[in-house]
Amino acid sequence: MALLDVRDLTTHFSTDDGVVRAVDGVSFSVEKGKTLAIVGESGSGKSVTCLTIMGLNTGRVQTTGEAMFDGTDLITLPKRELREYRGKRISMIFQDPMTSLNPVHTIGRQLREAVMLHEGATKAQANSRALEMLRAVRIPRADARLDDFPHQFSGGMRQRVMIAMALINNPDLLIADEPTTALDVTTQAQILKLMKRLQGEHEMAIIMITHDLGVVAELANDVIVMYGGRVVEQAKVDDLFAKPEMPYTWGLLGSLPRLNATGGRLEQIPGQPPSLLNPPSGCPFHPRCEFVMNVCRQELPELAGSTVGADHRFRCHLDDESRAQIWERKRAAMVSEDAA
Amino acid sequence: MTELLRVDNLEKHFPVTRGLVFQKQVGSVKAVDGVNFSLNSGETLGVVGESGCGKSTMARCVARLLEPTGGSIMFDGRDITHLDRADMRPVRRDMMMVFQDPYASLNPRKRVGSIVGEPLEVHGVGSDDERKRRVQELLEIVGLNPEHYNRFPHEFSGGQRQRIGIARALAINPKLIICDEPVSALDVSVQAQILNLLKDLQQDFGLTYIFIAHDLNVVRHISDRVLVMYLGRAVEVGSRDDLYREPKHPYSGALLSAVPIADPEQGRNRKQIVLEGDVPSPLNPPNACHFHPRCPRFVDGKCNVDTPLLSPVGSGHGHEAACHFPLERWPMSDEEIRRRGSTPVGAAD
């Protein structure tokens, strides 16, 4: 059984300008010890999906659907009970390590907080646990640094402190929202390696939100691609990169400058991501899609299975044959560029 | 090809002072500490390195937004290292910048027309009517609707704002455009649009770029030559193909191997070098080779004593690296990279 099973999740925000459909009927599940990557551009609803699961949305928000975590629906759970889950069984790492630590408290105090709150540990016990975690994330001279403030750490170290904080109660599920986007490649490599190691030790499930397809390829087992608040493609990581099935995913892969490809023009997706206030009719991607047909403007394609495998599902009105042909052509273009 | 820019031994040291009234200098941050490169007309030089390595400071010195504390900058056959404001003004017509944050680099209270037209106004080009026509032409060149002339920046998305920034940089036909992380704040699909635009403009107008980015894939895509910086120094410079196919400095190698590959199979099979620790403080950089505390090839008594200078490596063609023990081949794994008899030291804190 999946650790987290999200069914038909919908989050709408009422604003003065109208209803923002940030998440619209999203379903996915995460297994123990596995990593699910949620890919998409800004405004695709990937972060809101996770904030909804954690019950962290504020404002005039309407949520429907369910998020079954180990048999309990997190969406309908009263706030007080949800608090028992947050920071203990489910943790979250936010994107910006500069702003998500409290600047006026020491690292040690912020690390101890979660242990003392959830485990009812004494300060001394919490302290030794904090120290252990700082060592686990390879902070040099950890014992001396417990009493330091966030500004005394570099960006990469702060992100490692955030990871230590998220993992201090050995959560079953870690939600990481762009954990490495603000970091240099070298630091990113350190953090990804660290997350993999800790996942291996604790059989933790990870939901990784990112727009970096390189990070996805490196870390994920399963991938969902989101666009305009909906899941548009869902697959095992190897399948997604080997045979993406819909035009937005083709565009994402094509617009990527690759280390082994040089020169040439990048394939660009024309236009801008859609407004969630006024989403396009039919398929959310149709205004930017080069293969748009009449039906795309009117009907939202079902998230349906492919011929390859039941695990691979996507939204597209194109028939199997044309999709196969188009992808073959696009892949050939990418490969020939690789060889050049 | 003609040489447009030559930077020799460029230095920018910021003084660190103590005391409120009687300030005395207690040290200096060597943000840029001896960088050399030259750039031909019509070429793109990519500059890469971790944050805090001095890429942006170097660019600001070249654009003379900062005054270098040492070295020289020859631009278009003229020494501009210490020109004063007035003498610098005509030079600025040939040298423009595009900044990283498309939200912060456009004045929110000005209309697009006057933002893009400002360089024309400052340099007294044309009459009001001519300027307006030029601005509309520019908006069209960068792929915006000329009718958006009267709109404010907040009415545009990030990618469109970056286009406005580029239109402004193009306004008075500069020779050199310095792009400081122009696409880091954008989504991948929009990033591809901007990169394609920059390439098209280079072809159409014979522009020369200095392109700063921390994304090595982007730099490879757009550059002819690449400069790798570490703690204020150039550690490797070479043509894009030489440098990406056969990096010689262990730091360049580590940077390249740290880039995630958007292909699960290749990613699993590659040999990765993960550097431990962070970039040391430029206030108190390590002795000799700045990279030695993190370097897998560190040799005690050599790397921490003797500062390596940029010297030719590999097949030549202007490929230079500052390392006593350059990499023999590529790719190499962590273990292969460690030399016999040397013990790698842990992360410096």
Complete DSSP assignment for B88-127: HHHHHTTEEEE-S-TTTSS-TTS-HHHHHHHHHHHTT-S-
Position B268 scores a pLDDT of 78
Phi and psi (nearest 5°) for B229?
Answer: -115, 145
pLDDT surpassing 50 at residue B344: no
Residue in B230, B228, B208 with CA at minimum distance from that of residue B220: B228
**Domain range holding B274?**
231-349
How does residue A124 score in pLDDT terms, banded at 50, 70 and 90? very high
How does residue B32 score in pLDDT terms, banded at 50, 70 and 90? very high
Average pLDDT of every residue of chain A: 87
State whether residue A270 sits within 8 Å of chain B by CB.
yes
State whether residue A340 sits within 8 Å of chain B by CB.
no
User: Which chain A residue shows the shortest CA-CA distance from B159?
Assistant: A272
Tally the domains of chain A: 2
Provide the chain A residues 24-43 that lie in CB contact (below 8 A) with chain B. 41-42
Tally the domains of chain B: 1
For residue A270, list chain B residues with Cβ-Cβ distance below 8 A: 193
B258 and A185: CB-CB below 8 Å? yes
Provide the β-strand partners of residue B320.
B237, B312
Report the 3 state secondary structure along B299-311.
CCCCCCCCCCCCE
Tell me, yes or no, whether A335 and A246 share the same domain: yes
- Give the domain-ending residue among A168, A190, A223: A168
For residue B216, list chain A residues with Cβ-Cβ distance below 8 A: 185, 259
SS3 B173: coil
- The mean per-residue pLDDT over the stretch A290-296 comes to 92
Position B345 scores a pLDDT of 42
B133 with B185: CB under 8 angstroms?
no
Cα–Cα distance between B178 and B62 in angstroms, integer?
Answer: 9
Cα–Cα distance between B69 and B73 in angstroms, integer?
Answer: 12
Q: Angle between the B158-170 and B188-205 helix axes, to the nearest 10 degrees?
A: 20
B145 domain-assigned? no
Cα–Cα distance between A207 and A220 in angstroms, integer?
Answer: 9
User: Which chain A residue shows the shortest CA-CA distance from B200?
Assistant: A265
**Which among A240, A259, A262 is the top mutation candidate for probing chain B, defined by the most B β-carbons within 10 Å of its own β-carbon?**
A259
State whether residue A138 sits within 8 Å of chain B by CB.
yes
A256 and B262: CB-CB below 8 Å? yes
- Give the domain-ending residue among A112, A136, A168: A168
Residue in B184, B214, B211 with CA at minimum distance from that of residue B198: B211
DSSP 8-state assignment for residue B325: S
Cα–Cα distance between A287 and A289 in angstroms, integer?
Answer: 6
CATH number of the domain bearing residue B302: 3.40.50.300
Position A16 scores a pLDDT of 87
- Give the domain-ending residue among A168, A183, A206: A168
Position B349 scores a pLDDT of 35
Cα–Cα distance between A317 and A303 in angstroms, integer?
Answer: 10
Q: Angle between the A185-202 and B250-258 helix axes, to the nearest 10 degrees?
A: 50
Residue A165, CA distances (Å) to A108, A113, A114, A160, B67 in order: 10, 9, 8, 9, 43
- The mean per-residue pLDDT over the stretch A144-153 comes to 90
pTM: 0.85
A215 domain-assigned? no
How does residue B342 score in pLDDT terms, banded at 50, 70 and 90? very low
B192 domain-assigned? no
Cα–Cα distance between B275 and B345 in angstroms, integer?
Answer: 11
DSSP 8-state assignment for residue B41: T
**Which among B101, B188, B241 is the top mutation candidate for probing chain A, defined by the most A β-carbons within 10 Å of its own β-carbon?**
B188
- The identity of residue A263, as a single letter, is G
For residue B274, list chain A residues with Cβ-Cβ distance below 8 A: 186, 189-190, 193
Predicted-complex ipTM score: 0.81
Cα–Cα distance between B233 and B249 in angstroms, integer?
Answer: 13
Cα–Cα distance between B213 and B198 in angstroms, integer?
Answer: 14
A10 domain-assigned? no
Q: What percent of chain B has pLDDT over 70?
A: 96
pLDDT in tens, A168-205: 988 999 999 988 877 788 888 888 888 888 898 889 99
A124 CA to centre of own chain: 35
Interface size A-B, in CB pairs within 8 Å, comes to 135
A213 and B188: CB-CB below 8 Å? yes
A258 and B199: CB-CB below 8 Å? no
Position B208 scores a pLDDT of 95
**Domain range holding A108?**
100-168
Give the alpha-carbon dihedral of B246, B248, B249, B254, to 10 degrees: 30
B278 and A187: CB-CB below 8 Å? yes
Provide the β-strand partners of residue B121.
none
B232 with B238: CB under 8 angstroms?
no
Window from A46-55, A113-122, B258-267 with minimum mean pLDDT: B258-267
Residue in A28, A63, A65, A4 with CA at minimum distance from that of residue A232: A28
